[in-house]
């Protein structure tokens, strides 16, 4: 198993991975392994959402708006560094077919992605912050699972009618996420995330609308409506 050191993560793991270690630990019987001479390919045994960590809203969008892009970048890099340290601390096993992605690694990267998407994009830096975290998740083959989990966390928070500030923050997360995913809607995994948001049929509470209008001075739109509009623009696949 080859390990590659880079500036993006203290120790980057290159493995053919489609589910995180959180599920692997519970479902080894659902994985198939290749011979020792080849990399292991983990196969998911379920298409249901995978939880990569307990939801935690460290900063709401109002708090993040009060920070400049450099300060937000520092918050994100601190969590990327934490993910790298966790991954690098794995016990070396010369007999192992691959190196798995630790649950704590995914938790730290999801925290970083949540921060990147929770901040209203008034200064045009959202995409660069998103790309910073995306690169780390792509290298761990865990981008789709973390984005799906973060989308579900946002939907659940809005359905549970959390505080107006929290709900407004999760609206921003969903809207910013879909803005980043829009160019890749032809991808099945990307489209599944947006479809999940559409099918949630999210209603924005009056108190949350007030919070959003104070920040954008425009009429808030349900993320489900945004998702439906985006999906309607995707050409139908030929049968």
pLDDT in tens, 10-52: 333 333 333 333 333 333 233 333 333 334 332 322 333 445 5
State residue 238 phi and psi, 5-degree precision: -70, 135
pLDDT in tens, 169-220: 999 999 999 999 999 999 999 999 999 999 999 999 888 888 787 766 667 8
pLDDT in tens, 130-180: 999 999 999 999 999 999 999 999 999 999 988 899 999 999 999 999 999
């Amino acid at each position: 198993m080859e390990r590659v050191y880079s500036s993006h993560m203290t120790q980057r793991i290159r493995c053919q991975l489609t589910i995180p270690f959180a599920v692997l630990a519970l479902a080894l019987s659902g994985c198939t392994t290749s011979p020792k001479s080849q990399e292991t390919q983990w196969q998911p045994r379920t298409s249901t959402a995978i939880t990569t960590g307990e939801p935690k809203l460290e900063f709401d969008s109002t708090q993040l708006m009060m920070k400049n892009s450099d300060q937000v970048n520092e918050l994100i890099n601190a969590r990327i560094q934490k993910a790298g340290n966790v991954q690098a601390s794995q016990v070396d096993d010369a007999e192992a077919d691959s190196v798995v992605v630790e649950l704590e690694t995914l938790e730290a990267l999801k925290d970083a992605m949540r921060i990147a998407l929770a901040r209203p994009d008034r200064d045009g830096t959202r995409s660069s912050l998103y790309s910073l975290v995306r690169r780390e998740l792509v290298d761990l083959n865990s981008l789709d699972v973390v984005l799906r989990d973060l989308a579900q966390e946002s939907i659940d928070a809005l359905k549970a009618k959390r505080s107006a500030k929290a709900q407004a923050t999760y609206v921003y997360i969903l809207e910013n996420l879909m803005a980043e995913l829009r160019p890749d809607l032809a991808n099945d995994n990307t489209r599944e995330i947006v479809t999940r948001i559409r099918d949630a049929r999210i209603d924005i509470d009056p108190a949350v609308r007030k919070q959003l209008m104070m920040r954008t001075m425009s009429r808030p739109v349900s993320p489900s409506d945004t998702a439906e509009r985006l999906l309607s623009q995707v050409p139908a696949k030929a049968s």
